[in-house]
Amino acid sequence: MKIAYVSTYLPQQCGIATYTDYVIRAIQKVSPLVDIKVVAEKGASPFKQDKFEVVPCWDRNENYVDPIISNIKDADIVHIQHEFGIYKFDDRLPTLLKRLTAERKRTIITIHCITPLQFSNRGVMKMAENCVKKIAELADEVIVHLDSQKAILERLGIPSEKIHIITHGTALSDADKKDSRRRLKLPEEGNIITVFGFINPFKGLDVSLEVLKEIIYEVEDVYLFIAGGLAPTASEKQRKYVQFLKKMILKNKLTDNVLFSDNFISNKEIPYVFGASDVVLYLHYHEDRSASGSIHLAIGAKKPVIAYRVPKFEVVKHISDELLILPGDVSGIAQTAIRLFTDKEFEQYVLERTEKYRRATSWPVTVRKHLRLYLGVE
């Protein structure tokens, strides 16, 4: 069996590229006889060895149909990793899917993000729901990560049996806490609450600072670790937000309790970021139906997470619904963190549930579900 993945790929700094790499590496471990080809966007690094090849051949800003078609001739299955920022809203992707059908290729598409029409308020984004419907109709099988994504596709008339919920995979890591803190030059003692990733106003870092203010009244030696900085393409609004955060830290006398890396966290450092943490916060607030790869990294490190009760973090309910807090509820977030720090029985309950969930969604488990789908035995 030869699988062609149509996707962005490393070293492109793209969540879909990273996701595809996780899938491929897990398949190579679980089923090393599978032949894999990445029909990648230009920007990926070309590579070839036995049973694995990367062919960068298309550009999202050009007509990518013919270059992709010419590079999937030897594949049995074509698996497209879809995100609107890559494939846009025009007719190229539907045309590609029709051509793949004409080539008698079995097509699977993972739809990473679905935004309901009522929340698609930016011009061309209003086309998103209709575009999702069209590509889901044209593919042979559709993979989504969340129950809420499947529900939208069913409302759009996509047959339930065609939609497969395969949870975003979880990379397991077990970096030692003290070693991680030494590597990152963080305090070796005390409780560290972490927020991770590029800084953006929608990620609620100002709320995280308010949460810290409340916690330090009840818990000694607690820190907020802002693990990340501005993206290379950061807007002026995002740059001003960093300055706002720094002023907020000074105004509230939190300088000694905030650990602000203010730089890019490399992939090699990620296990140590989560290894150093006691609790990880996810206070993003938007209506996209998409899974969070970052939250799976925290869960994979067996760290308790506290997240907003929004679609992006709905998987947390499988660990404990009590860790999902209404957006903006500073006291609710703070008191949940305090309980994790002070109630050992509650903390142990969360850790045991986190361990169970990270094992159930590990990448080897996840890709076995992909393989069964490829073989038509799911």
Domains of the chain in start order, with CATH, are 2-169+362-375 (3.40.50.2000), 177-360 (3.40.50.2000)
CA distance 172 to 363: 8
What pLDDT does residue 126 have? 58
Dihedral angle computed from the Cα positions of residues 52, 57, 61 and 63, in that order, rounded to the nearest 10 degrees: -120
pLDDT at 128: 78
pLDDT of residue 108: 98
**Across the beta sheet with 106-111, what order do the strands follow?**
47-49, 52-58, 35-41, 2-7, 77-82, 106-111, 141-144, 163-165
Tens digits of pLDDT across the chain (378 residues)? 999 999 999 999 888 999 999 999 999 999 999 999 999 999 999 999 999 999 999 999 999 999 999 999 999 999 999 998 899 889 999 999 999 999 999 999 999 998 887 776 665 555 678 899 999 999 999 999 999 999 999 999 999 999 999 999 999 999 999 999 999 999 999 999 999 988 888 889 999 999 999 999 999 899 999 998 887 788 999 999 999 999 999 999 999 999 987 777 788 899 999 999 999 999 988 778 899 999 999 999 999 999 999 999 999 999 999 999 999 999 999 999 999 999 999 999 999 999 999 999 999 999 999 999 999 875
List 164's β-bridge partners, or say none: 143
Q: How far apart are CA 103 and CA 72, in angstroms?
A: 9
Q: Is 260 helix (H, G, I), strand (E, B) or coil?
A: strand
pLDDT at 123: 56
Phi, psi of 329 (to 5 degrees): -85, 85
pLDDT for position 50: 95
pTM metric for this prediction: 0.92
pLDDT for position 125? 55
